Structure 1
Amino acid sequence: MEELWRLVGAAEDDPMMGYGYGYGYGCDGDAHWTPTAVREWWRDRGRIREYLALQRGRFEADDVTSGQGTAAAARDYAAYLDGDLALHLRAYLFRLEEGRAATPTDLLPRL
């Protein structure tokens, strides 16, 4: 959970903001993710659900003052964890392992 907090803090304080230098935090995943790391993250995704549930009240309170929709975004992310993310990660694993995007006839790897 501490690791997630550090990541969120770093993203909020990103001095590059994805501009001028070509990439922000979200654009260099292939330099850091391996198939093993993706599978480990997926296996431990319950920690993310737990974090989102524990922070729900704070997100809602922040929305009252900031109006940024953090609570709704957290709910959407939780739904994504339980929905399309598995398929998207399987496609990403294919690209990491094969070095190319999957075609409709390719069998995607298991998480």
Structure 2
Amino acid sequence: MAELNRYGEHVYWDPLPTVAVSQTLPIAGAGPGNSLGPPSDYLRGVWSERDWRNVPGPFYGAQTDSCGTGPLAAPDHVLLEDEYGSEVVFRQPRTVHETQLVLTAAWSDPFAGYACDGDDHWTLGQIRQWWADRTRLVEWIDRVDRMWSISDHEYERAHASAVRAYHHYLEHGLENDLREYGFWLEHRRAITPADTLPDLGP
């Protein structure tokens, strides 16, 4: 559930405080005594190498491996692209538990290609540019969905549901989440009734 402020309004939830103290968090799905360890050990993705399909936010995948472990760890947040099989963050975490799942996806990547320094790079203007180019993303989703949905490989058919979830999110919820994130980047505080969320454009 998204965080609410004292006025009962949805606000951007910042996962970075959870990341900062995540060293002792359990690896999702692992047995007792298996912790994530220092995030600097596995969050080493490079901003300039990020995949364009990553949704704006702190987390992104950049030249990850192609083993498909990320979607297993965080199926509501991570999917595979079809060119190299690398992993893409299509929904940012909005709770401690969801952050633990995305961190587990990152921890599972032997290439250490995830990162969570998006706040240091994204601006409201860049979010607007990404949103303006979403037709490209929809076209990719539709193409991959058609291809994977009828695949002879169960592995690909399973991943088709993730790209459909991304499409649904694009149409129902992502725009407002990006407006909240844009406000956060501009002000680094929760919104109040005196504030207005920024528009993303057409």
Query: Which TM-score bucket, shorter chain as reference?
Result: 0.7 to 0.9
Is 1:18 the counterpart of 2:71? The answer is no
Among 46, 59, 76, which residue is 2:135 paired with? 46
TM-aligned CA deviation for residue 9 of structure 1: 7.0
TM-aligned CA deviation for residue 54 of structure 1: 1.4
- In structure 1, the residue matched to 2:176 is 87
Whichever residue aligns with residue 10 of structure 1, its letter is Q
**Counterparts in 2 of 1:1-111, with a 5 A limit?**
4=52, 10-12=63-65, 18-19=106-107, 25-60=114-149, 64-66=153-155, 69-103=158-192, 105=193, 106-111=195-200
TM-aligned CA deviation for residue 31 of structure 1: 1.6
Give the SS at the match of 2:177: helix
Whichever residue aligns with residue 145 of structure 2, its letter is R
Whichever residue aligns with residue 123 of structure 2, its letter is T
> What are the superposed Cα offsets for residues 61-80 of structure 1, whole Å, 9 maximum, x if unpaired?
56833277211111110011
Distance 1:98 1:63, change over 3 A: farther
The answer to whether the 8 Å contact 1:94/1:109 transfers is yes
Between stretches 77-86 and 25-34, larger displacement belongs to 25-34
Where structure 1 has 5 or more consecutive residues not aligned to the other structure, the ranges are none
Partners of 2:117 and 2:63 in 1: CA distance: 15
Percent identity for Structure 1 against Structure 2? 36
TM score, norm. by length of structure 2: 0.43
Distance 1:67 1:47, change over 3 A: closer
Partners of 1:62 and 1:26 in 2: CA distance: 31
Equivalent residues, number: 104
Partners of 1:53 and 1:67 in 2: CA distance: 14
Where structure 2 has 5 or more consecutive residues not aligned to the other structure, the ranges are 1-50, 54-59, 67-85, 87-102
Larger proportion of helix = 1
